[in-house]
Amino acid sequence: MTCAALAIASLSACANAPPVEVGAVASEPVSALGQDDYSATLDPAYVLRPSDVISITVFREPDFSVERLPIGSDGTVALPLVGTVTAAGKGAQDLSRELTWRLDEAGLKHPSVTINVLDHASHLVTVEGGVEEPGVYPFQPGARLSSALALANGPNRVAKLREVAIFRETPDGLAVAKFDYVEVRRGAMLDPVIQPGDRVVVGISGLSQFWQDFLRAMPAFGIFANAAR
């Protein structure tokens, strides 16, 4: 449902609703607007990198399956029948489709390939903007936005907590999602899972005018959208 549709539905509901008694207000975690995606430990759009370790399972073809396969420093993997294939810079689903096509071209009947990421080359997140100690930090798998900010010793006194953006590389290019960290701390907005290579930018008046305008203009829905570099 689009934002416009949501707004219209809300207005209609308000027009037809009976009077509401004033009472205690309790916030509930928001699971709509695509935020459920951030409860996973790995984003399906994660971009493979050199030294990542993957498994390749070819359905009912154990001779062509590999339990642990490191991606080489040149970003490639080598498989029987297929030869050398570039893996780095692609998503697991993209690589799966390419290997399925190549195996089919090599004569394997109706191949079905599944790719899983077993280990990441590095879990690093960049935190900058309105934090006490901007920098690049290692983190544990499954860590969330709140953990990333804690690594940078938390927001500083002039941080604009309602303007926090996460930039992420995807197979389709650079994507960005905006979060309202005030609502995250209240439990009214999901605390998103951080992915390797993410860049977290906390709003601050010291940012360039371009970034200030960019962060203000984005809706805090926690949905990744393509961003111009």
Digit-coded pLDDT (tens) for 79-114: 989 999 999 999 999 999 999 999 999 999 999 999
Q: How far is Cα 15 from Cα 90, in angstroms, rounded to an integer?
A: 49
Asked whether 219 and 176 are in contact (CB, 8 A), the reply is no
3-state SS record for 16-54: HCCCCCCCCCCCCCCCCCCHHHHHCCCCCCCECCCCCEE
Which class in CATH covers the domain with range 35-42+122-226?
A: alpha beta
Give residue limits of the domains in the chain.
35-42+122-226, 53-119
φ/ψ of residue 82, rounded to 5: -90, -40
22-73, pLDDT tens digit by residue?
Answer: 333 333 333 333 344 444 445 666 789 888 999 999 999 999 999 999 999 8
141 band by pLDDT with thresholds 50, 70 and 90: confident
The pTM (predicted TM-score) of the whole model is 0.58
**Would you call 132 helix, strand, or coil by DSSP?**
coil
Structure tokens at 108: 């394997």
Structure tokens at 93: 């689903």
Q: CB 10: neighbour CB atoms within 10 A?
A: 10
For residue 14, with 0-12 CB atoms within 10 Å meaning exposed, 13-18 middle and 19 or more buried, which class applies?
exposed
173 band by pLDDT with thresholds 50, 70 and 90: confident
189-223, pLDDT tens digit by residue?
Answer: 999 999 888 999 998 876 666 666 666 666 655 55
Give the burial string for 113-125 (b: 16+ CB within 10 Å, else e): bebebeebbebeb
Asked whether 172 and 178 are in contact (CB, 8 A), the reply is no
First to last CA, the chain: 28
φ/ψ of residue 219, rounded to 5: -75, 140
Asked whether 16 and 87 are in contact (CB, 8 A), the reply is no
pLDDT of residue 112: 96
- Residue type present at position 98: E
| Domain spanning 53-119, CATH architecture | 2-Layer Sandwich (3.30)
Place of tokens 């809300």: 10
Place of tokens 């995250």: 184
Structure tokens at 7: 């707004």
**Residue that wins the pLDDT comparison between 122 and 76:** 76
Asked whether 139 and 125 are in contact (CB, 8 A), the reply is yes
Asked whether 85 and 70 are in contact (CB, 8 A), the reply is no
